[in-house]
Amino acid sequence: MAVYEGLPRAVPEEMGMSTSRLGRIAPVMQGYVDNGKIPCALTMIARGGRLVHFEKFGMQDIAAAKLIQFDSIFRLYSMTKPITSVAVMMLYEEGHFQLGTPVSEFVPAFKDMKVYTEDGSAVVDAEREVTIKHLLTHTTGLIYESDREDHPIDQRYEDADLYGGDLANMIRKLGSIPLIHQPGTAWKYGMSTDVLGYLVQIVSGMPFETFLKTRIFEPLGMNDTGFSVRVENADRYSKVYEFGEDGVLQAIEKIHAATGPLSFFHSGGGGLQSTAADYLRFCQMVLNDGELDGVRLLGRKTAELIKMSHVPADWLAPGRTGTGFGLGFAVVTDVAETHTLGSVGTCSWGGMASTTFWIDPVEELIGVFMTQLVGADSPFHAQFRMLTYQSIVD
């Protein structure tokens, strides 16, 4: 049976890329596998709507000596966020709200929010309401963890057991915890996109997972993407790894936010499972300004808006120089400051298990990198991107 590749294939030279230069990717990625730095890798490149590179390296199950496959299924973690953000913008286009609409109009738990003072020693009233745009840009004051070991917000998040119930329960608990900063005054990565997932559920009148399936995954042909893995596909599901104390890769037996052996919390921020080919189709839709193969999810102007930076550069973490943040992912604003190859306007994001993607509208170029490694630096991301761009010869 032919492997599903997401997009039609083309000879690299037909798309202005060099086959021999693309050949430099394999030895670098194989080296990471051979040296025990990653368990596996799938590297995927498309240009001009055509697939020009798709290769695999390593194991999806090291103990069983089971090789990674082109159709292996991966835990996306935060690569879920751009998909959730697109779902929100689809509802925005239908006229349900404006980006400046207070979240409390749909989620009463976010009315009259409290905010920690800068040193965390006291709690004050929020100076303004949390808006839908704050959620999309991670400027709400919701976080994953603080930058300080002694900040009381971390204990509040831990005590809340946010994944201990359903999505509505998570959002109710989040609304009861003070924000770490005043809404709209700083960028802090965190639970904002989980609230967006609940917003989709409330506004659409259908379960969040049903909206994603019927309005995004089925129309785009993303048949292996969802919050669970079908039993018949269990043998395609890659194990997730971390480094043990001895520095050797070991499988993580208890996967974060798992609700069953092959199912996961319906988190808009990190619950989806997918294949490289499926995610490539989502990326191509974004690159195409909202349309793929005759299916339009977003209007062109909306797609342009989500790919603009909406956050001042000095709000972002020091490691993100040269980038801003759009409505769901990072956006390159200054190529030189990123210290790598690329183009202004390139959108990207990654996941906790070291997956990543980027979408370059100038070069009509998409890169998707899949592995499953938690808690490690990811130098292979920058190398894969460089090896991709150096292969452009037109």
Question: Is the pLDDT confidence value at 1 over 70?
Answer: no
Per-residue pLDDT tens over the stretch 277-322: 999 999 999 999 999 999 999 999 999 999 999 998 788 877 788 9
Copy the structure tokens of residue 164.
């201990």
Contact of 70 with 280, CB cutoff 8 Å: no
- In sequence order, the β-bridge partners of residue 42 are 56, 370
Mention every residue, 6+ apart, whose C-beta is less than 8 A from residue 334: 313, 321, 322, 344
Residue 150's pLDDT band (cuts 50, 70, 90): confident
Contact of 70 with 56, CB cutoff 8 Å: yes
pLDDT at 231: 93
Q: Among 318-332, 336-350, 374-388, which is the least confidently predicted range? A: 318-332
pLDDT at 261: 85
pLDDT at 143: 97
Using DSSP, state whether 179 is helix, strand or coil.
strand
From 61, 70, 35, select the one nearest 372 (Cα to Cα): 61
Chain length of the chain: 394
The pTM of this model reads 0.97
From 364, 314, 359, select the one nearest 86 (Cα to Cα): 359
* Residue 77 main-chain phi, psi, to 5 deg: 50, -125
pLDDT at 298: 98
Distance CA 228, CA 274 (A): 9
Mean predicted lDDT score pLDDT of the chain? 96
Strand extents, DSSP E, 39-188:
40-47, 50-61, 66-67, 74-75, 114-116, 123-125
pLDDT at 314: 81
**CB neighbour class for 374 (10 Å; exposed up to 12, middle 13-18, buried from 19):** middle
Contact of 359 with 348, CB cutoff 8 Å: yes
Per-residue pLDDT tens over the stretch 229-277: 999 999 999 999 999 999 999 999 888 888 888 999 999 999 999 999 9
Copy the structure tokens of residue 121.
């020693």
Mean pLDDT of 161-168: 94
Kind and range of the H or E run holding 274: strand 273-274
Rounded-to-10 torsion of CA 371, 373, 376, 377: 0
Kind and range of the H or E run holding 296: strand 295-296
Question: Is the pLDDT confidence value at 92 over 70?
Answer: yes
Q: How far from 314 is each of 44, 163, 181, 317, CA to CA, in Å?
A: 32, 32, 16, 8
Per-residue pLDDT tens over the stretch 199-238: 999 999 999 999 999 999 999 999 999 999 999 999 999 9
Per-residue pLDDT tens over the stretch 97-139: 999 999 999 999 999 999 999 999 999 999 999 999 999 999 9
pLDDT at 3: 73
* Residue 263 main-chain phi, psi, to 5 deg: -135, 155
With a pLDDT cut of 70, the percent of the chain lying above it is 99
Report the b/e string of 173-197 with b at 16+ CB within 10 A: bbbebbbbbbbbebbbbbbbbbbbb
pLDDT at 260: 85
pLDDT at 190: 97
pLDDT at 2: 67
Question: Is the pLDDT confidence value at 364 over 80?
Answer: yes
How many Å is the Cα radius of gyration of the chain?
Answer: 20
pLDDT at 208: 98
Mention every residue, 6+ apart, whose C-beta is less than 8 A from residue 72: 40, 42, 56, 60, 236, 237, 238, 275, 370
